[in-house]
Structure 1
Amino acid sequence: MFKNVPIITALVTPFTTEDEVDYPALDALIERMLGEGVTGFLVAGTTGESPNLTHAEKIALFTHVGELLKGKNAVQVANVGTNSTAASAALAKEASAIAGVDALLAVAPYYNKPSQAGMIAHFTKIADASSVPVILYNIPGRVVVTIDNDTIVELAKHPRIKGVKQCTTIDDIAYLVKNTPDDFAVYTGEDGQMLDAIRVGGAGVISVASHVLAPEMLECLTAESAEDIASADELMDDLTPKMNALFRFPSPEPIKMLLAHRGEINEDMRLPMIKLTADEAAQVLERI
């Protein structure tokens, strides 16, 4: 299933001015991206401000998005990862039972700094609790620790651990593609690596930029699939500085600013995330 979804959008969580989840704005955002060809959505991930969502809000989001995507040939990946194994496993059990949740995402345990053996035990508990496939999330820049390649290879033997969102290097992605089962989906979590990841056998990208750049990204991947390498390279060269602009400041601040600038959502975030200054916003806008 995952290898057939080349772009999974890591969704923002829109909020109202009263600090409630803005479901009408979320629905409109998803519907617009579906119309642009996006067929995968990660809900309540880092871009969705997961640390600042309550348990009840996460369950409500997973349920709502599952209902919205029903019959639309799209998949929902629900983020259940925290730095508590017990809490993550409990949420995995609950979320995987929700209709319309097709897979789970679980991040490497942050702050605790576990050993590789500790991470194997952590992810195994989560996968054991889940009734749907689990995607590992390896992002050492945010969580300090790295899930080593060989640890991922070992975890890929679990019958429900079916992928990884890898935010490291293309060499790591190539190694994982080569050394994991064919049904294990290796995604890059870095928009700028999208084309290179596909070229080494990766499944695609779990993306922030696809909120606003999905048509161009899909055009690039279509050219690559057609072996029109020159066109794919040209499209990726145009996309890369735009993608990089969305990470010029802490995410999701730039993408929320841009979506608000387009009139699609409110820019509101929950602390410690804050709105970009006018100067910061201008720096992003001039590069998009």
Structure 2
Amino acid sequence: MDLKNATIITAMVTPFDEKGAIDFERLPQLVEHLLANHTEGIILAGTTGESPTLTHDEEIDLFNEVIRLVDGRVPIICGVGTNDTRDSVEFVQEISAIRGIDAGLAVVPYYNKPNQEGLYQHFKAIAEASDLPIILYNVPGRTVANLEVETTLRLAELDNIVAIKECSGLDALTELIEHAPNDFLVYTGEDSLAFATKALGGQGIISVASHVLGTEMHEMYHALEGQELVKAAAIQRKLLPKMNALFSVPSPAPVKAALNHLGVSVGELRLPLVSCTNEEKAKILSTLDF
């Protein structure tokens, strides 16, 4: 499925039961909630899905079940990247055989701090390992290494690299939107830059906030597409404190608290992440007006 129509993609949380196992019975409600609130694509086993604490087999089971539930309604993107190129290549080859996965999301290798040539060769190897389209994921706040604009533009020339989730700020987004090939999609991974990215000509947002603010974000993008700049900007200004509240403690604790409060049951988090304290939760919900 083409990503061209996907402007708001949600990096979906992984629901857990009381014992900390993936709660497959809670998935249908979560998926339908997202689709009802204008999610136009779903990322599984990303940062928000607590991918560092999901096992290989859990990820495969999660992918298969969400594919079944979504049933082709929106594109499904699965986290494929680690800080081990060989492992990433093997995994992307494995999941490329699963029907219903539309792209893989490959993060900048974390902890081992590769240079730009190392990053280029890493992503090139992943892209050439299968026919699955690859979305780059640059999030230096978590990985330490930063995928520089020049390296991204080199990678954008490769057939199988189709998009980037860019989290290094507005300057990088602006340069990428200006210089990338026309068919290369530029998404921000920072909710606070949803408006700016779209206004600059980017594709849209890969979002956490869309779990609970998706309808308002869709309204904003609809206004932008209709050249209603003042209306769109006003929506982003109102959303900003709410978006910030959803990152006031390590994500995805705030968005899981908000979903649970709304009756979309997703359970708690896996260590080393912990759920919000009662005080944190009260402050977040108050800011969200829930």
Q: Is the 8 A contact 1:42 1:77 kept in 2?
A: yes
Q: 2:9 matched to 1:5?
A: no
Asked if 1:58 is matched to 2:74, the reply is no
- In structure 2, give the amino acid aligned to 1:19: G
Corresponding residue number in structure 2 for 1:161: 161
The alpha-carbon deviation at position 3 of structure 1 amounts to 3.0
> CA RMSD for the aligned pairs?
1.0
Counterpart in the other structure of 2:68:
67
Q: Hey, what does 2:192 align to over in structure 1?
A: 192
What secondary structure sits across from 2:287 in the alignment?
Answer: coil
Letter in 2 for 1:139: V
Unaligned ranges ≥5, structure 2? none
Query: Is 1:44 equivalent to 2:32 in the alignment?
Result: no
Once the 2 structures are TM-superposed, how far is the Cα of residue 266 of structure 1 from its aligned partner?
A: 4.0
- Sort the Cα spacing of 1:237 and 1:90 in 2 relative to 1 into closer, same or farther, 3 A: same
CA contact (8 A) 1:103 1:132 kept: yes
Cα deviation, residue 69, structure 1:
1.7
Is the Cα–Cα contact under 8 Å of residues 14 and 266 in structure 2 kept in the other structure?
A: no
Write out aligned runs for 1:1-288 (5 A).
Answer: 1-72=2-73, 74-288=74-288
How big is each residue's C-alpha offset from its partner over 1:64-104, in whole Å with a ceiling of 9 and x where there is no partner? 111222242x0001001111111111111111221110000
Q: Match of 1:263, as an amino acid? A: G
| Conserved? CA contact 1:10–1:43, under 8 Å | yes
**1:269–1:275: 8 Å Cα contact kept in structure 2?**
yes
Deviations 1:22-76 (A, max 9, x none): 122122111122122212000010000000000001111111111222242x000
- Any idea what the Cα deviations from partners look like across 1:217-255, whole Å, max 9, x if unmatched? 000110111111111111111111101100011001111
Q: Give aligned-pair identity as a percent.
A: 45
Distance 1:36 1:263 in 2: 15
Secondary structure at the aligned position of 1:38 is classed as coil
Q: Deviations 1:147-200 (Å, cap 9, x if unpaired)?
A: 010000001111100110000122211111121111111000001100100011
AA of the residue aligned to 1:53:
L
Structure 1: gaps (5+ residues): none
Q: 2: CA distance between counterparts of 1:115 and 1:25?
A: 41
Secondary structure of the 1:110 match is coil
Any conservation in 2 of the 1:97–1:131 contact (CA below 8 Å)? no
In 2, Cα distance between equivalents of 1:29 and 1:70: 14
Using structure 2 for the length normalisation, give the TM-score.
Answer: 0.97
**TM-score (structure 1 length as normaliser):** 0.97
- Quick one: distance in 1 between partners of 2:256 and 2:33? 16
